Homo-oligomer: A and B are copies of this chain.
Amino acid sequence: MDDLKLGIMGSGQLGWMMIQEGRKLPVKFGVMDSGEKGSAAAICDFYMGPNDYRKFVDECDFVTYEFENVRKDGLEYADEQDKLRPGLLPVNLKKDRSLEKNYFVSGGFPTAPFTVAETTSEARRSCRDFGKSVIKYTSGGYDGKGQIYVRNEDDIEKVEIHGKCIVEELIDFDCEISVIGSRDSSGKIVMHTPSFNYNQSGILAYNYAPFPNRKAMEITSRLLSRLEYVGVIGVEFFLKGDHVMINEFAPRVHNTGHHTLSGSSISQFEQHVRTVLDLPVPDANLIRPSGIVNIIGRGLDSDLLNRLLSNSGTRVYWYGKNDARRKRKMGHVNLLAETVDELREKISSTMELVYPDGLENYL
């Protein structure tokens, strides 16, 4: 057989890991990017700029994206050619948080209560109704950027919005978890065990699996089917007692699924590559408790690298970015352990190694 050709729109670390994990298969990888060339561009088999989107799509058997804000013309052309996976609907829902939220509501998926506000007075009124709330612009912003937390009357008086927003009741949730799952073109769904996620200032600091939750898996399965999705999805949930609320989904491989790079029978990256190319994914089993610590806003020195790699079963993924700005994800560390307790201890000591001055100084 000839090699399959997969086109990836976007060239960041998610595409970089997709190529690394998919390269063992008879697949050639193309990358198309509209801005600065990222990590994936350096290791792909062919690269094209955004103006060549027709040529790029024509060259590939299937096209996927590793970033939601890729150029619309390329996505639409790939969709017209029946090559875009997971498709236009999931990425379009992510262009406007109110579309995503309303999609959840119309499908009967449990979410935190919210309203849509277009003016400051509408926003303030909703904040008063909810008591405590978080305001998010409907477009732009990820990793917690552009979110306003409103906890009291003083905060409400300071609220000023400049564009369409979601005002969401601020749930004092117990924790955040996520599910990484895939659906193939025949409708078969394969899910990893949920993970526990620890975020700070809206950015994932660490996570680990297993953290079983049947309701979250059922919701993910139903969402994949309703979207007629093909590929890997990441779905975030808030837990409050027995209550499971969907927070948002990412129409792609997801930072909370990096733990599948070790300890799982298949990584989310290979799972995505296989699924979008119509290759089988029989199942996704956790073999050993597995977690990650993100390396954010700092470089790597050889002392840190040596200390990290001295820990049994540890892998370091360094994305090769030059500029270690605050809040920027520079790499991550995969950790394995025999028990969840041992894994939590490893995560805690790794956090101390990576953030000797406290995580808040890197965000």
Contact = CB atoms under 8 A, between A and B. Distances in A.
Contact of A301 (B1, B42, B309, B315): B1
Interface in A223-257: none
Interface in A1-52: 1, 3, 20, 23-26, 42-43, 45
Interface string A316-327: 111010000000
Contact of A26 (B282, B285, B305): B305
A279 interface: yes
Contact of A285 (B3, B270, B312, B314): B312
B24 A317 contact: yes
A306 B279 contact: yes
A299 B3 CA distance: 12
A328 interface: no
A311 interface: yes
Contacts of A299: 1
A106 interface: no
Interface string A60-87: 0000000000000000000000000000
A265 interface: yes
A336 to B, nearest CB: 7
A1 B317 CA distance: 15
Contacts of A274: 309
21 contacts: A1-B299, A1-B305, A20-B20, A20-B24, A24-B316, A24-B318, A25-B305, A25-B316, A25-B318, A26-B300, A26-B320, A265-B313, A265-B336, A279-B306, A279-B309, A280-B309, A282-B309, A282-B310, A282-B312, A287-B288, A287-B336
The 8 lowest CB-CB distance pairs between A and B, nearest first, are A265-B313, A26-B318, A24-B317, A280-B310, A282-B312, A280-B309, A1-B302, A283-B312
Interface of A: 1, 3, 20, 23-26, 42-43, 45, 265-266, 270, 274, 279-283, 285, 287-288, 299-302, 305-306, 309-318, 320, 336
